[in-house]
Structure 1
Amino acid sequence: MASMEQIEMEKHRKALDKDVVHLVDKYLRAMEWDIPDVDEPTARQMILDEIKREVGRIESHS
């Protein structure tokens, strides 16, 4: 049986997914302002890697 936390997380999963996509797009647009010919797949991966590092930093402080 799912815990109350799992049930609640399921309710918010789609919103969380959309928020992460929005966050990546936000920083990609900022890069495009500074680098008009940015390599979009590389830039997107760099942003995702940094988000992953930050999640790791947050986890290590919890």
Structure 2
Amino acid sequence: MLQLDNFASRYLAADLARQAHIGAVFWRANVLLFLVIAVLRRGSLPTTFPTRAPSLQKEPRHG
């Protein structure tokens, strides 16, 4: 918690240019982390979101 408090106090004490730089680094790190996790978990996605093969039989018409 002390590190978070230190980061927050430094962020608030920084000028606007430095805050913008910190924000850009934060968002780049989040995107990179998201992509790394997506690549590592890509094998489990088909079981999480199964796709159904198209059926050869026609569905009955309704109405």
Fold similarity call, TM over 0.5:
no
Larger RCO: 1 or 2 (CA < 8 Å, sep 6+): 1
Structure richer in helix, relative to its length? 1
Question: When the two structures are superposed, what TM-score results if normalisation uses the length of structure 1?
Answer: 0.42
Question: When the two structures are superposed, what TM-score results if normalisation uses the length of structure 2?
Answer: 0.42
